[in-house]
């Protein structure tokens, strides 16, 4: 199996020069701060690459603590602890299990690595350190676009990767990007501009 990440590490250590842009601060659709880190790379074999990392997905413990305190006060008011001790222990264990589930499944950063002539890799990093990666070969990549969707009477913008399906009848498929950090439109434009420098250098937006 081809290890795209190790191959990129070996290339960067041997014959690549990097140009790192300063981190930018934006807002996501929930009004929280997110941080965008762009690294431009130029290899000696004339292949250009860009790595865009969006981070800042933090777990909001304060609302969780407030919710737990409210439930605790209500339980003491109705004297829930005097009814059955087992029920109280079950409720506490359910609260802890729900919190652990949210922590385990929380994605704190998303990375998009575009290497001209090779492919595109997406990486999602979880709160507990686990990573999930996906690689799309260069021949299947059509373009990166900014699309829009309607959710709860709101128009949301998101970035998507347009790829070709390998089938007898060629179709095009959208792979959404940054759906966990949810950057707003100004941030998406900034990422789009950086990616177009590699995908379409002659048409890059500056």
DSSP 7-64: HHHHHHHHHEEEEEPPPEEEEBTTS-EEEEEEEEEEETTS-EEEEEEEE-----HHHH
Query: What is the pLDDT at residue 90?
Result: 75
Answer whether 177's CB lies under 8 Å from 159's CB: yes
- Between 36 and 48, the more confident residue is 36
Query: What is the pLDDT at residue 129?
Result: 82
Which residues lie closer than 8 Å to 178 by C-beta, 6 or more apart? 54, 110, 112, 158, 159, 188, 191
pTM higher than 0.85: no
Three-state secondary-structure class, residue 165 = coil
**Strand-strand pairing, 131-137 and 48-55:** unpaired
**pLDDT at residue 14 tops 50:** no
Beta bridge partners of 26: 34
Query: What is the pLDDT at residue 19?
Result: 54
Confidence of residue 100 (pLDDT cuts 50, 70, 90): confident
Lowest mean per-residue pLDDT among 102-106, 165-169, 178-182, 200-204: 165-169
Query: What is the pLDDT at residue 114?
Result: 92
For the chain, percent of residues with pLDDT exceeding 90: 24
**pLDDT at residue 53 tops 80:** yes
Query: Residue range 2-23: average pLDDT?
Result: 50
**pLDDT, tens digit, 9 for 90 and up, residues 154-195:** 888 999 999 987 654 456 788 999 988 899 999 999 999 988
CA separation for the pair 162, 175 (Å, rounded)? 6
Query: Residue range 116-129: average pLDDT?
Result: 89
**pLDDT at residue 2 tops 50:** no
């Amino acid at each position: 199996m081809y290890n795209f990440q190790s191959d990129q590490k070996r290339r960067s250590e041997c014959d690549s020069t990097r140009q790192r842009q300063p981190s930018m601060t934006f807002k996501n659709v929930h009004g929280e701060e997110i941080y965008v880190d762009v690294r431009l790379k130029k290899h000696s074999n004339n292949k250009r690459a860009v790595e865009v990392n969006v981070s800042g997905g933090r777990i909001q413990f304060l609302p969780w603590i407030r919710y737990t305190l409210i439930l605790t006060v209500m339980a003491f008011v109705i004297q829930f602890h005097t009814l059955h001790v087992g029920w109280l222990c079950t409720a506490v264990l359910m609260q802890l299990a729900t919190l652990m589930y949210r922590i385990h499944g929380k994605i704190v950063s998303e990375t998009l690595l575009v290497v001209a002539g090779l492919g595109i890799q997406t990486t999602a990093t979880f709160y507990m350190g686990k990573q999930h990666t996906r690689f799309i070969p260069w021949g299947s990549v059509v373009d990166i676009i900014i699309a829009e969707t309607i959710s709860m009477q709101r128009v949301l913008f998101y970035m998507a990767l347009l790829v070709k399906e390998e089938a007898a009848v060629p179709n095009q498929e959208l792979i959404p990007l940054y759906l966990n950090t949810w950057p707003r439109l100004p941030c998406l434009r900034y990422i789009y501009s950086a990616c177009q420098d590699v995908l379409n250098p002659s048409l890059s937006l500056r």
